[in-house]
Structure 1
């Protein structure tokens, strides 16, 4: 868990360090990878999905994040294809509020319901990524980039949730729930334009 920040930093810095950036598949991959990391709303929502999966435990540890990534790919494809999705920014902000609140209140949902909730919000995130793809980029490599970054952000949330739980059962759960509450509050800030 201590090495996760180093791994994430290495992955983030690997794109800028590559020779001949800005052309070909490497550019699409690095641009796609940086897109979710560049927005506070995306980072908060994706880490919160990982925390939510950790709170739910069991099969949710992989099914909930997988549902998010899969539906985000669908939303991304719709964005690249020019298919309109209404209220994208509102959906992204609400994802931060709702998933943060689910973590804060420790809501235990069936795996299918939890996957459906995060999957619905993932469409908005994916659509934003797809519509903001630079024209000269390969949709495939760009998509793989933002899906990879998303999976890493989910993994960071899962590791944080599980790590805090292992430190102290009583205080770890309180810390995870506090993180969810702060995320939900940040989502309200995003909704109101304060953040």
Structure 2
């Protein structure tokens, strides 16, 4: 019997370490007015842990169920981004954005146990709604000057890179890795959602 961990176990440990490092190294929600062009836009979705975890979750859901979920995510991004850029917002938007991570992770776990079958449109709608909430926050922050278009293109490129890479990597690993990652994301979403409350109660 080998004394070395399997590749799937190593991948899981690496993912957990990355999440732990991110939790320790950056704020849970890095939202504020955004400036700059394509480079700033590219980095913006990665600057807040809530956005980063959601992008990973979308990639994981696409790997677990269907790559068409990326199309649903894109639709949600466009709708939410336009809504936010026009000044639209939702009550408790930050909280909803964090809980969206748990919702997407929960859909993966549900599909693993119950199968997704005809529910693909349901999961697609959930992914689109989750991404729309995050894109709304981006829309509220996005620059409204001449750099706006390049900023949005950069944000789209950064988002596609994270979700697409997650999809491709998980497709090459045992399915159990996706399940474990979904468990981590479900907990991580809850922590990000309620961490500010815990800080207020300290």
Q: Does the TM-score normalized on the shorter chain lie above 0.5?
A: yes
Residue 115 of structure 2 is aligned with which of 108, 116, 140?
Answer: 108
For residue 82 of structure 1, give the secondary structure of its aligned residue in structure 2: coil
Measured against aligned partners, the alpha-carbon deviations of 1:39-93 in whole angstroms (never above 9, x if no partner) come to 111111111111111111xxx21x2112112211221112111122333212211
Does residue 34 of structure 1 match 2:36?
Answer: no
The list of structure 1 runs, each at least 4 consecutive aligned residues, that deviate by more than 4 angstroms after superposition, is none
Query: Could you say if the C-alpha distance between residues 108 and 140 of structure 1 is closer, same or farther in structure 2, counting changes exceeding 3 Å?
Result: farther
CA contact (8 A) 1:73 1:143 kept: no
Alignment of 1:175-190 (within 5 A): 175-190=177-192
Q: Check 1:155–1:74 CA distance in 2 against 1; reply closer, same or farther (3 A cut).
A: same
User: Pick from 98, 101, 105: which aligns with 2:103?
Assistant: 98
Q: Offset of 1:36 from its aligned partner?
A: 0.6
In structure 2, list runs of 5 or more residues that go unmatched: 1-35
Structure 2-normalised TM-score?
A: 0.72
Q: Which residue of 2 aligns with 1:130?
A: 139
Q: Distance in 2 between matches of 1:147 and 1:102?
A: 23
- Between the aligned partners of 2:145 and 2:104, the Cα distance in structure 1 is 34
How high is the TM-score relative to the length of structure 1? 0.74
Q: How far apart, in 2, do the equivalents of 1:137 and 1:163 lie?
A: 41
> In structure 2, the residue corresponding to 1:36 is in which secondary structure?
helix
Residue 86 of structure 2: aligned partner? 81
Alignment check: 8 A CA contact 2:56 2:166 kept: yes
Count residues in correspondence: 159
Does the aligned pair in 1 maintain the 2:101–2:130 contact within 8 Å? no
Q: CA RMSD in A?
A: 2.1
